[in-house]
């Protein structure tokens, strides 16, 4: 018995309103992902394609739009998972790749591993001849450094102190950026989830958030559904939020109830801020956040894709 396909996608949670460019890109990504589902493609294809469009747009903090870290480098994380056989793949700290989500899928399909990190992940992507992006220019690195210092509110003297990294990192924990992600359900009832990010503002080199950690940033299980997270990764990691939401779905909770309970726990236990796409195995879904805004949307093939930056809290 076939099921009606459905796709959800997000472009991050935080304080900033969605831009016109982000709205248009998210709608295009949802339409492209759903078209694959409509034609009978597996949910993993729809998730990857949707995220690739967001990564390649330059208007989200993922792929070519990723922010620079404090040393001027652009390091990215991504993960993908399908719910039939619980296969998963991820990369962390990957560089010079246009679509980290495709590298994550290759880890899932072409290796016996789940997560590759750093220069080894970059070499792996190069081996498979994935589309590349140019390294940041000196002008871009300088501009990013100045922007980061201003955002942190540091004076010239403070910038020269040995405590600058600690000061900036403390401020960075308050800011979420435009991580992207998607979840989908195909006609065969297989769920899939994915996410991709360039990290958070002012992050220290070597920092890894929730996005490439299976069970934290993403999870998919046909016995439960699919989840893709966005927000401040440190809190999401500490509660393994995606897996906890999925476990509640498997236990019979509705998507709305599951995500509300877990986001409330995130806020009370670790003062965490996040947004989530939650898709149950029967097609029910929820988009929820405890941040001021969450750029996200969904489409089931009826009318036009729904894209907003505020959902019921």
| Beta-strand relationship, 180-185 and 218-221 | unpaired
Name the 3-class secondary structure at 217: coil
Residues with catalytic function: 179
| Beta-strand relationship, 293-299 and 191-197 | unpaired
Question: At a CB cut-off of 8 Å and minimum separation 6, what does 285 contact?
Answer: 6, 8, 183, 255, 277, 278, 279, 298
The H-or-E segment that residue 22 falls in is: helix 20-38
Q: Are 291 and 274 in contact (CB under 8 A)?
A: yes
Q: Are 241 and 274 in contact (CB under 8 A)?
A: yes
Question: At a CB cut-off of 8 Å and minimum separation 6, what does 47 contact?
Answer: 7, 33, 80, 182, 183, 184, 192, 193, 194
**Closest C-alpha among 219, 273, 268 to residue 246:** 219
**Closest C-alpha among 266, 242, 239 to residue 83:** 242
Q: Are 308 and 297 in contact (CB under 8 A)?
A: yes
How does DSSP classify residue 50?
H
- Alpha carbons 11 and 260: distance in angstroms, whole number: 20
Name the 3-class secondary structure at 138: helix
Name the 3-class secondary structure at 159: helix
């Amino acid at each position: 018995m076939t099921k009606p396909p459905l796709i959800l996608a997000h472009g991050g949670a935080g304080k900033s309103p969605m831009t016109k460019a982000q709205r248009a890109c998210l709608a295009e990504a949802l339409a492209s992902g759903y078209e694959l589902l409509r034609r009978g493609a597996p949910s993993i294809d729809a998730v990857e394609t949707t995220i690739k469009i967001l990564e390649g747009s330059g208007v989200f903090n993922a792929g070519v739009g990723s922010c620079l870290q404090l040393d001027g480098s652009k390091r990215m994380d991504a993960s993908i998972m399908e719910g039939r056989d619980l296969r998963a793949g991820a990369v962390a700290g990957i560089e010079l790749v246009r679509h980290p989500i495709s590298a994550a899928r290759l880890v899932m399909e072409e290796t016996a591993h789940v997560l590759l990190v750093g220069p080894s992940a970059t070499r792996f992507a190069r081996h498979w001849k994935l589309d590349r992006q140019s390294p940041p220019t000196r002008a871009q690195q300088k501009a990013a450094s100045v922007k980061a210092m201003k955002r942190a509110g540091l004076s010239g003297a403070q910038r020269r102190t040995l405590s600058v990294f600690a000061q900036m990192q403390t401020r960075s924990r308050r800011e979420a950026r435009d991580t992207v992600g998607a979840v989908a359900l195909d006609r065969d009832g297989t769920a899939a989830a994915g996410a991709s990010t360039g990290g958070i503002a002012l992050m220290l080199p070597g920092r890894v958030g929730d996005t490439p950690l299976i069970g934290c940033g993403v999870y998919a299980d046909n016995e439960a559904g699919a989840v893709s997270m966005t927000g401040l990764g440190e809190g999401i990691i500490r509660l393994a939020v995606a897996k906890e939401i999925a476990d509640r779905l498997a236990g019979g909770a509705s998507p709305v109830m599951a995500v509300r309970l877990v986001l409330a726990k995130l806020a009370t236990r670790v003062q965490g801020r996040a947004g989530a796409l939650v898709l149950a195995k029967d097609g029910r879904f929820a988009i929820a956040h405890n941040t001021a805004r969450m750029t996200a949307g969904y489409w089931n093939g009826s009318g036009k894709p729904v894209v907003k930056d505020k959902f019921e809290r």
